[in-house]
Amino acid sequence: MDNVTHTLFALTLARTPLGRAGRGTTAALVVASNAPDFDIVTAVPGGFVTYLRWHRGPTHGPIGVVALGVATAAIVWSWYRMLDRARAQTPSPAAPFGMLAIAATIGVMLHVLMDLPTSYGTRILSPFDWHWYAVDWMPIVDIYLVGALVSGLVFGRGSETARRRNAGIVLALMAANYGVRGIAHHEALALAPRLFGPTLPQACPGEPPHTAVVDVWPHERRIQDAAFQASGRRCLVEIAALPTFFSPFSWRIVAQFSNAYEVHETNLLDARFRAPATESEALWRRGVRYPNVWTDAAARAAGTRAAQVFLGFSRFPAARSFVDPAGAATVRFSDIRFVTSGFVDEVRRSDPFTVIVRTTPDGRVTEEAFGR
């Protein structure tokens, strides 16, 4: 989730019994709810490559949850002790360090748990396990969640009772929102075969149907069998349903094939899904195809530092390569989650989720860069 949502959620938590621990609890919750994203400081010494390498890493793992919770409590507790010494009278008792540590740890943990249901994902087990995990229910910014949180804070200022009541209502609305999106995600995956129709190939050899609730990546699913490439045959690696920003009923269905991706934009409220399928139905014709061909040039480019970091982050990496007559190669890696145009070649030049690698005819790397 974005930091505005995390902050609004922390302020809502401060209106629950968790906020009664004493003065400083609200500050601890707000700081702790944003603390895991402190990993942005890794961009200072090494730029975007270093940031992406550590992004949502140890600060979102079990050690980070405890360490950031205690560190946040120490900062807030020290700050309020310093204020109390500077004042002649203390307006109300400050929360003890132990209570601040508990509240801050809860704030950090809920930050991580709110990141998990997004299609962006998080590395909840790092540094012990550097895989990404995601549930694919929520977009990075959910306008309905933000709206509920803002409304609860604005209309619950009349009294302590009203604040607590509105906080409970907001938490109930949040649970309902997550529930609706979870059910809609299940329905979107169930409709996927109908969207792809006769274009949906059989599952790749050794690739069992994807049934896990939590998606995990990176994984070695690049089918590089020369027989498939040479014959033009395709097989299905995975199907995913990604949420969109404006409606819990609109989903982006991504199918990963052995040599390409195919994307369909769909709305679960479409009347055609409530009618029996017919031979004339042509929903499958509306898909957009993104090539993903792992040539020798792409395999060499994948060994560069920038590509390694990107491939460790990317859930659906698409590789395209061009080799000029002299043998110099240009390889582009893009993450299909963030490609919004009709073709990979039309990705915005400022897109940070694209890597370009250029090599000389003898294989020497002349350029490796993000977002170009």
| Per-residue model confidence (pLDDT) at position 10 | 96
Judge whether 320 and 62 are in contact, CB under 8 Å.
Answer: no
For 115, 267, 327, the CA distances from 4, given in Å and listed in that order, are: 13, 28, 49
Question: How many helices (H) and strands (E) in the chain?
Answer: 10, 10
User: How buried is 264 (Cβ within 10 angstroms: 0-12 exposed, 13-18 middle, 19+ buried)?
Assistant: buried
How far from chain centre, in Å, is Cα 285? 29
In a 3-state reduction of DSSP, which class is residue 164?
A: helix
116-119 contact pairs (CB < 8 A, 24+): 116/214, 117/178, 117/181, 118/1, 118/243, 119/242, 119/243, 119/337
| Per-residue model confidence (pLDDT) at position 347 | 43
The closest of 53, 222, 218, 61 to 132, measured between CA atoms, is: 218
| Tokens, residue 274 | 């409530």
| Per-residue model confidence (pLDDT) at position 285 | 63
| Per-residue model confidence (pLDDT) at position 90 | 57
Angstrom distance (rounded) from CA 330 to CA 308: 16
| Per-residue model confidence (pLDDT) at position 344 | 40
Angstrom distance (rounded) from CA 358 to CA 364: 8
Q: What is the dihedral of CA 215, 116, 303, 263, to 10 degrees?
A: 60
Which residues of the chain register pLDDT less than 70? 88-93, 156, 158, 206-212, 220-232, 274-285, 340-351, 372
| Per-residue model confidence (pLDDT) at position 89 | 59
For 47, 130, 354, the CA distances from 54, given in Å and listed in that order, are: 11, 10, 17
Judge whether 191 and 264 are in contact, CB under 8 Å.
Answer: no
| Per-residue model confidence (pLDDT) at position 102 | 95
- CA torsion sign for 150, 151, 154, 160 is negative
Angstrom distance (rounded) from CA 262 to CA 260: 7
Peptide bond into 58 cis (omega under 30): no
